[in-house]
Structure 1
């Protein structure tokens, strides 16, 4: 198509452009009066004299005149194409030269004037930005990110989309940056609160924002088109080539933002939204900037800035409490500051006391108005959710801590994984949860309090109880399967089937099982407590039972104490003697590991009583084994040997070969302490054969370590190094960091005995790191002293 056939995109000059307009009028057959009347019926102003003057001259018409003319003369024409063509020709104009240029073929568009009359020659420069935040702290990296985006402009408009939860400080950041860089935007700054999330029933329509922008840019109200696409095209034409900042605050979604975007690379746009505007990145190359919480230091600085350094100087403890319970959320800090400022004579501790009470914390975080009431601010995000996603949000409120994997949330909500992922995506898109690593979700403490709030109509205690049952079952059955991967020869436990809608998470091997336990351990502790509160006593001791191997490999004896103390309460409530015996025994073993001998022997004696009363031979045997370990560590080797032999006899009576091997290893270790090395080695070799026959790597590694000690005490250092090295490899193969630390320490002892002090220090350092990680304070202190003694010899 060429200019001769009526395509404005082919017009090479203002004269050709106007010639095309004349052709339109001729083809329409309308008189000037008829055009004026048609425009008036459409709500637009198009004086007949203006049309005649426009078509007589060879200058580009004013934008509002062009739009009104096209609507009246040729309504089928694509107005956007004509506006883009006009904008292109205007940009090709030669530099203006005084007043004469203003009357030439590329005269400035009157819609860019101040509106002081036809002769006005100064463009309208809107200054719509609200004031910057009174107190602003931190966000140095985020400000730098916006700087970089603005400086690295290319051939398209620069768009930065600032996202994050309600109250995270998106608007404050945008306004802070805007006011720091006003000099970059001499042609003006536009601002619109799009009310995407708020007390209003609906967001602001793009047409409303565009009309406000156009009028601020000098377009007469009567000349603003009604059609959205034409409004947007006119807006892009007016701001084309101008160095302007556009701040689009509190957007609901990408669709609300796109019509308000300039088309010129001279413009910069800041968008804020609780919703992740991924579509804006896809279609317009926007840079997403998601705000995180303020650090403790930044939060303290912000609150101190609000309250005054003098007031907080002698109330540091109360200030720390306020900062802690605001959780780094700027709006919460601002509300606290406003409440404290309203009562300057009151001590900060009075407000801190309110925030300490979790049940009243949200009520305390209100300054009396909707936009300064945290519960109301969160409700606007909640209101934007679809019903299924809102139900997921409600059910998350029943969980003690929201730090859950996708499979756990699917179990909680009884939804398929794919559906659950989509629903969590909605929560993430509205910044109600945070996917901090792929497939794992967290919720801010204050958002979680709102989620747990029972005041909302969708919250139902019955549905939450069922959801918690599913979640407990998810963790119990997954933990049981993981424990079976770690030690498949442990006596099985008869679990009740999982609740309908709950599916355990599949795990493939021991590495995945250990990684899952490492990640989910805090949640397993919580689920045991949930089961106890709801009277599901079998699940309480069953959860404790699934953690035994993991706790042993990671040397988490304090956690072992905690879970078995609760398990004992559950067993006693249920009057289950076998379970009471098991609980007492595991408590005794944990106390032994912690060096609390009196408590250990008390619990083990009780375990023996319960096991004998209940006629549970296996539990009686395991308790004798635990007593053997306890007395060996206490230093009474003869008594330890008696219990080890009793355990061996009982294990043989029930044909438990793996436990028989464990007792044989204990006898060998104790005999080595009694310097009965021949008997010790023979017993350990029988144990090693049994462990290897039954593929029990933990027992195999323990026995290799015993053989290493026997060889070391016999002066066979080379043989000792071999055994310790094999034990170390086996421990590492199953993720047994308890045994790994002990093997490294023993290897260091042999290296030291051989005069290889550098090697000794190297492996001791590895052992020390593990001991400190396992909080084995006493052992770590003794090893550090030993390392200091040998450091001078290197």
Structure 2
């Protein structure tokens, strides 16, 4: 097991070690921990760092097994063949080797049952692949599993969902990789932010900093839509990390992640995605939960969803390859219509006007009482702004600005800002004016 290159993560390491110790004191023997997170977030490094702290307590063996669940260019390891390798490694001869997966798994568990073993099962595709390697409940073993999936069906005593590094620790990793000291911490922090604080990118960019100044690297990374355009090797690594996860999704979930890329951001919720795809809300919620569990979408404030900065461009590229321009435009127009119906309804609830029945084309969130409507509208500000800009682009100047879809998306924000500023009576008068002039309302 390689010695980990680790910066930060002290809170996560302490949490895992504390939980393992607490579980052991409670009499739990075969402890299983699942470390999940998006591609390139540092799950393997964290597991190795924790294993390094535990290894003395497990004198019989410390084994790390790469299951190749999400390795670009590699199929996942065949559990039956991998179990044969492990059994041979621990001294089981060919003559005693069962021919079936079940037989080998039973023999593997029997060997573990009599020993104190620390097991790292890295890069796990799903529950089915990892189950044959798990020790029996009576074994004095600790198993650390890493996966892009949260492996909900694995009976784990401890679960940790790993996020990107904090900006300060991301800058420290850049400095470590460059083997340099930097006088201007702000410039290094800016490079860390441009890398999305993702260790996969930070390690490669840190090597560039051996020769280049942070200011020059920041210029190389300045293209928000194509961050690594000038660094094809790094771009290839990030793209491969996204694509290998994408290829392991089923067809309907692939379709949904591409549809999320039709959205201009900065974030979205299930109601918006249901409008984009013209799909039932319940189906969209199930698919989005799957994407969150795979680390392909991340949670943003207010329970909304977003792409990590470094993966959005690859999702957009996949959408442009597989979806027609007309399909994308139709989805975007559906979203525009949903948003201005929802936003207008929210304002009517906030202003306590006569609330019209919702449009039955879409599913809408429950916006009552007024406090909920205001909170929803505030959380949707960024989406309304970006969709307003997209609406104006799609209209291509063919509609007067004052009657455009863009204006209809911006007006609820104007009205809420008036309410928040204590100008409720003015907001009511302005709302009445907008309705009378056709700039508000269906």
The equivalent of 1:62 in structure 2 is none
Separation (CA, whole Å) in 1 of partners of 2:58 and 2:169: 30
8 Å CA contact retained: 1:138, 1:298: yes
Match of 1:551 among 392, 396, 417: 417
Separation (CA, whole Å) in 2 of partners of 1:248 and 1:431: 18
The equivalent of 2:312 in structure 1 is 448
1:270 aligns with 2:134: no
Separation (CA, whole Å) in 2 of partners of 1:471 and 1:189: 52
Counterpart secondary structure, 1:511? helix
Deviation of 1:355 after TM superposition, in Å, equals 0.9
The equivalent of 1:214 in structure 2 is 87
Structure 1 moving runs of 4+ over 6 Å: none
Match of 2:172 among 286, 301, 325: 301
1:336 aligns with 2:205: yes
Separation (CA, whole Å) in 1 of partners of 2:314 and 2:234: 17
Counterpart secondary structure, 2:154? helix
Deviation of 1:438 after TM superposition, in Å, equals 8.2
The equivalent of 1:416 in structure 2 is 280
Match of 2:104 among 231, 244, 253: 231
Separation (CA, whole Å) in 2 of partners of 1:363 and 1:132: 32
The equivalent of 1:513 in structure 2 is 373
- Gaps spanning 5+ residues in structure 1: where? 1-128, 561-581, 587-617, 620-794
Separation (CA, whole Å) in 1 of partners of 2:405 and 2:235: 46
Deviation digits for residues 106-149 of structure 1 (CA, Å, limit 9, x no counterpart): xxxxxxxxxxxxxxxxxxxxxxx2x1233x11111211122123
Deviation digits for residues 471-505 of structure 1 (CA, Å, limit 9, x no counterpart): 11111001111222233659x99xxx97x964444
**Aligned-residue CA RMSD in angstroms?**
2.9
Deviation of 1:155 after TM superposition, in Å, equals 3.9
Deviation digits for residues 139-172 of structure 1 (CA, Å, limit 9, x no counterpart): 1121112212332222441111100000000001
Deviation of 1:512 after TM superposition, in Å, equals 2.6
Distance change in 2, residues 1:363/1:171 (3 Å) = farther
1:384 aligns with 2:258: no
8 Å CA contact retained: 1:528, 1:540: yes
The equivalent of 2:385 in structure 1 is 525
Separation (CA, whole Å) in 1 of partners of 2:340 and 2:409: 6
Deviation digits for residues 385-435 of structure 1 (CA, Å, limit 9, x no counterpart): 111211211121122224222211211221111111111122112111134
Q: Give the structure with the higher percent helix.
A: 1
8 Å CA contact retained: 1:362, 1:374: no
TM-score by length of 1: 0.50
Deviation of 1:253 after TM superposition, in Å, equals 0.6
The equivalent of 1:578 in structure 2 is none
Counterpart secondary structure, 1:463? helix
Deviation of 1:526 after TM superposition, in Å, equals 2.0
1:142 aligns with 2:12: yes
Deviation digits for residues 43-91 of structure 1 (CA, Å, limit 9, x no counterpart): xxxxxxxxxxxxxxxxxxxxxxxxxxxxxxxxxxxxxxxxxxxxxxxxx
8 Å CA contact retained: 1:318, 1:348: yes
Separation (CA, whole Å) in 1 of partners of 2:47 and 2:231: 24
Deviation of 1:349 after TM superposition, in Å, equals 2.8
The equivalent of 2:213 in structure 1 is 347
Deviation digits for residues 550-580 of structure 1 (CA, Å, limit 9, x no counterpart): 11111299xx9xxxxxxxxxxxxxxxxxxxx
Q: Give the structure with the higher percent strand.
A: 2
Separation (CA, whole Å) in 2 of partners of 1:434 and 1:299: 18
Distance change in 2, residues 1:146/1:489 (3 Å) = closer
1:184 aligns with 2:57: yes
Distance change in 2, residues 1:218/1:408 (3 Å) = same
The equivalent of 2:191 in structure 1 is 322
The equivalent of 1:357 in structure 2 is 223
Equivalent residue runs for 1:84-123 within 5 Å = none
1:433 aligns with 2:307: no
Separation (CA, whole Å) in 2 of partners of 1:221 and 1:200: 30
Equivalent residue runs for 1:667-678 within 5 Å = none
Deviation of 1:231 after TM superposition, in Å, equals 0.7
The equivalent of 1:613 in structure 2 is none
Separation (CA, whole Å) in 2 of partners of 1:431 and 1:319: 26
Separation (CA, whole Å) in 2 of partners of 1:237 and 1:545: 68
Deviation of 1:298 after TM superposition, in Å, equals 0.7
Deviation of 1:359 after TM superposition, in Å, equals 2.9
Match of 1:170 among 39, 43, 65: 43
Distance change in 2, residues 1:347/1:511 (3 Å) = closer
Deviation digits for residues 715-740 of structure 1 (CA, Å, limit 9, x no counterpart): xxxxxxxxxxxxxxxxxxxxxxxxxx
TM-score by length of 2: 0.86
Match of 1:288 among 150, 153, 159: 159
Separation (CA, whole Å) in 2 of partners of 1:253 and 1:297: 33
Deviation of 1:183 after TM superposition, in Å, equals 1.2
8 Å CA contact retained: 1:385, 1:426: no
Distance change in 2, residues 1:438/1:157 (3 Å) = farther
8 Å CA contact retained: 1:165, 1:432: yes
Equivalent residue runs for 1:683-722 within 5 Å = none
Distance change in 2, residues 1:411/1:276 (3 Å) = same
Deviation of 1:521 after TM superposition, in Å, equals 2.1
Separation (CA, whole Å) in 2 of partners of 1:329 and 1:464: 29
Separation (CA, whole Å) in 1 of partners of 2:123 and 2:209: 28
Deviation of 1:337 after TM superposition, in Å, equals 1.6
Distance change in 2, residues 1:408/1:309 (3 Å) = same
Separation (CA, whole Å) in 1 of partners of 2:235 and 2:92: 36
- Gaps spanning 5+ residues in structure 2: where? 438-442
Counterpart secondary structure, 1:457? helix
Distance change in 2, residues 1:216/1:556 (3 Å) = farther
The equivalent of 2:440 in structure 1 is none
1:539 aligns with 2:405: yes
8 Å CA contact retained: 1:192, 1:248: yes
